[in-house]
Amino acid sequence: MSHSATQPFPVLVQKFFLQRLQQQRHVSPRTVTAYRDSFRLLLAFAHQRLNKRPSEITIEDLDAPFILDFLRYLEQDRHNSIRSRNARFAAIRSFMEYVSFEEPSVLALAQSVLAIPMKRFEQPLVGFLSREHIEAILAAPDPGTWTGQRDHVMLATLYNTGARVSELIGMRVSDLTLGPTAWVRIRGKGRKERSVPLWPDTGKELKHWLREYPRAPEEPLFPGRSGAPLTRIGLTERLKLAAQAASQQFPELARHRISPHIIRHYVPFLTMSCNPPIARILRANAGMGKR
């Protein structure tokens, strides 16, 4: 099948990123990065499977059987989770929706890809840690080192705010308000922003952290050694190290899979049966007192 009037695939991809995502939908930089990474994997797979360079690929190459092969490759060869597989496929679906309007001549092909379902998967229950476990993890980083001081105040901020990992590592110095009442501005999904109050102890620790290591307002609040924002993997690894150190005091921690997700869902003064969204609201508003 050939459509001489169809725009070249590279042109469609460029217009999708520049016009559709950034100019029309105003998606966040994180979404653009995630979609870019998905297309990198797709183009590398096409080069291997079709023996075509990205500039040689046509939209007709990306039919439903090819996309299904790509999704199987993600799960079986790259050992991606179903959640990751679905995230990669979401980028492809968004592109095919755009193509279906931009190039009606390949509408049938686009619809065949859009008909591929997302995979269902069970949502695991969030693990539970006691208050003593949390406090031991927060106290584990070495206060005599720069990384230890950063890790302590970073994990304390995660615990206080319930921020997502992307939100935490995206915080800038200018997002903090350290007055009599301390706040931090959090940039969430879809460019949504919210202000979360900080406990007095957290505010004091952040103030001390910035006094010891001052930085410009636009710089990351929790940088890596290079000064760039800490990565998602970097934050997770720092938390694992803190949990390993805390397991010397609480050996049962070694049996837990400690993740930022568990820390952000922990609410010290509410029962486990409390509705999680309500719990996070109460933590933000009622957490102004002593931690």
**Contacts (Cβ under 8 Å, ≥6 apart) of 135:** none
Distance from CA of residue 254 to its chain's centroid? 25
Letter for the amino acid at 198?
A: L
Angle at 77 between CA 73 and CA 82, to 5 degrees: 65
Decide if 187 is catalytic. Answer: no
Tokens of 44: 């590398």
What one-character DSSP code corresponds to residue 24? Answer: I
Tell me the C-alpha distance between 90 and 38, whole Å: 9
Q: Which two tokens stand for residue 16?
A: 């999708």
Q: DSSP letter at 116? A: S
* Mode of pairing for the β-strands spanning 176-178 and 182-187: antiparallel
Distance CA 254, CA 234 (A): 20
- Say if residues 48 and 66 touch (Cβ distance below 8 Å): no
**List 15, 47, 261, 291, catalytic entry:** 261
Clarify whether 164 is annotated catalytic: yes
Query: In the annotation, is 264 catalytic?
Result: yes
Instruction: Identify whether the C-beta of residue 135 lies closer than 8 Å to the C-beta of residue 89.
Output: no
- Active-site annotation holder among 264, 265, 280, 283: 264
Nearest to 171 by CA among 157, 190, 159: 157
Distance, CA of 230 to CA of 222 (rounded, Å): 6
| Active site annotation includes 280 | no
Of 164, 185, 215, 256, the catalytic one is 164
Say if residues 57 and 43 touch (Cβ distance below 8 Å): yes
**Identified catalytic residue from 36, 78, 189, 257:** 189
Residue 170, both tokens: 């995206």
Which residues have a catalytic role annotated?
A: 164, 189, 261, 264
